[in-house]
Amino acid sequence: DAKTTQPNSMESNEEEPVHLPCNHSTISGTDYIHWYRQLPSQGPEYVIHGLTSNVNNRMASLAIAEDRKSSTLILHRATLRDAAVYYCILNFGNEKLTFGTGTRLTIIP
């Protein structure tokens, strides 16, 4: 499986935008970039995914570099409820999701 690299942890102030980076330099042309998050004591939760173009949904935005070797998950206005571990996962059609260690996001009130 193609690997992703994320910072272990990040902090952000409440009500500020958050940019969570992910490097995936070995991404192949058919890999989709998925983001999931895991709130404390809960199951993983889908956030967003994309292939080449930037994507927006009600939860977040996904900015994908032109060469696709990196991407950034953008939370436009962080709330305390956004404190979670965020996982960047490459999905090429293999059924399973391969989770890494993710980025632990702390929101400072």
72 CA to centre of own chain? 7
| Residue 22 and residue 88 in contact, taking contact as beta carbons nearer than 8 Å | yes
- CB of 7 or CB of 44, closer to another protein: 44
> Burial of 68 by CB count in 10 Å (0-12 exposed, 13-18 middle, 19+ buried)?
middle
37 CA to centre of own chain? 7
- Decide if residue 101 touches another protein (CB under 8 A): yes
- Decide if residue 58 touches another protein (CB under 8 A): no
- CB of 12 or CB of 91, closer to another protein: 91
Contact range with another protein by CB under 8 A, out of 8-16, 17-25, 67-75, 95-103: 95-103
Binding residues for another protein, rule: CB under 8 A, are 30-32, 34, 36, 38, 42-46, 49, 51, 87, 91-93, 95-101
